[in-house]
Amino acid sequence: MRLKDKVSIITGAGSGIGRATAIKFAQEGSKVVVAEFNEDTGKETVNIINEAGGHASFKKVNVAEFKEMEELMDYTVETYGRLDVIFNNAGIGLHEPLFDHTPEDYDTVVKINQYGVYYGILAAARKMKELNIEGTIINTASVFAFMASYHIIGYNAAKGAVKMMTQSAALDLAPYGIRVVGVAPGSVDTRIIQSYKDAGKTERLARHQMRGKLMQPEQIANVVAFLASEEASGINGTTIMVDDGFTAFK
């Protein structure tokens, strides 16, 4: 129960890494706001948690809209009385060669994967400051915040920004006792990689990990729960690789 009595928001918690983290946080004693664009999958996550004896509620949100992120903070405090942790995790993949990646496509991916994280950092930090809570902000970057891959220029740019925003926000929020950290997953078996799987590239993605397997969302969730806990109080401003060695060999 490392997160006992904490109140946490998890964006993109209707699927994959977000859902696994919401379930893990609830098991560790946190009350969880499942903040998700997709109403059906978000409510499913809430049911999984509540049926297992945890405490979760659903708030529909588009992370790319700052006003909705502010409303999410208000909803959380009205529902549970405080805000200790936000996991800015919602994201999309957009895989297209540079010449096909239009300015509109770039906007779409950056609006969700970069602005969505910035909005989450800003809105949560304002609420934590207002309530005088020394909370924790965790952001989902990617191994592709650190290295380029083919045909994902918008995604690469947005994830690079997430890594740097994590450092920058940690610095500005340190005087308020708020920690900001990131996770950089390798290839995780979630809906975001479905198009690669459909194209028969599962084996190729699996080989990127040292142990030759796709990662499971729970492997990321376990690290996020640790980062949210007091045990990680010495970790700040950095983005932790959770990639089974992806970035450590070629």
Ligand X SMILES: NC(=O)c1ccc[n+]([C@@H]2O[C@H](COP(=O)([O-])OP(=O)(O)OC[C@H]3O[C@@H](n4cnc5c(N)ncnc54)[C@H](O)[C@@H]3O)[C@@H](O)[C@H]2O)c1
Name the active-site residue from 75, 80, 155, 196. 155
Of 25-33, 51-59, 100-108, 187-195, which part binds ligand X (CB under 6 A)?
187-195
Told to judge if 155 belongs to the known catalytic residues of this protein, a careful annotator would answer yes
Q: Indicate the helix (H) or strand (E) that contains 128.
A: helix 116-130
Among 3, 7, 9, 12, binds ligand X (CB under 6 A): 12
> For residue 91, what are the CA distances in angstroms to 87, 148, 177, 232, 239?
12, 18, 27, 25, 17
What does the alpha-carbon distance between residue 201 and residue 149 come to, in Å, rounded to a whole number?
A: 15
Decide if residue 48 touches ligand X (CB under 6 A): no
Q: Which stretch binds ligand X (CB under 6 A): 71-79, 102-110, 170-178, 191-199?
A: 191-199
55/95 with CB nearer ligand X: 95
Which contiguous run of DSSP H or E holds residue 137? strand 136-140
| Closer residue to ligand X, CB minimum distance, 27 or 216 | 216
Residue 120 in contact with ligand X, rule: CB under 6 A: no
Nearer to ligand X, 50 or 247 (CB): 247
For 97, the token pair is: 């060669």
Member of 8, 57, 76, 89 binding ligand X (CB under 6 A): 89
Among 24, 26, 36, 94, binds ligand X (CB under 6 A): 36
Return the structure tokens found at 235.
């970790």
**By the 8 A CB rule, do 85 and 228 touch?**
yes
How far, in Å, are 21, 32, 182, 226, 239 from residue 230 at the CA level? 17, 18, 16, 8, 17
Nearer to ligand X (CB atom), residue 92 or residue 178 = 92
**What letter would DSSP give residue 65?**
-
Residue 41 sits in the site that holds ligand X (CB under 6 A) = yes
Residue whose CB is less far from ligand X, 41 or 133: 41
Tell me which of 3, 14, 33, 160 binds ligand X, using CB under 6 A: 14
Task: Give 174-220 as a DSSP string.
Answer: GGGT-EEEEEEE-SBSSGGGHHHHHTT-HHHHHTTSTTSS-B-HHHH
**Residues designated as active site:** 155
Q: Which residues bind ligand X (CB under 6 A)?
A: 11-12, 14-18, 36-38, 41, 61-64, 89-92, 112, 116, 140, 142, 185, 187-188, 190-193
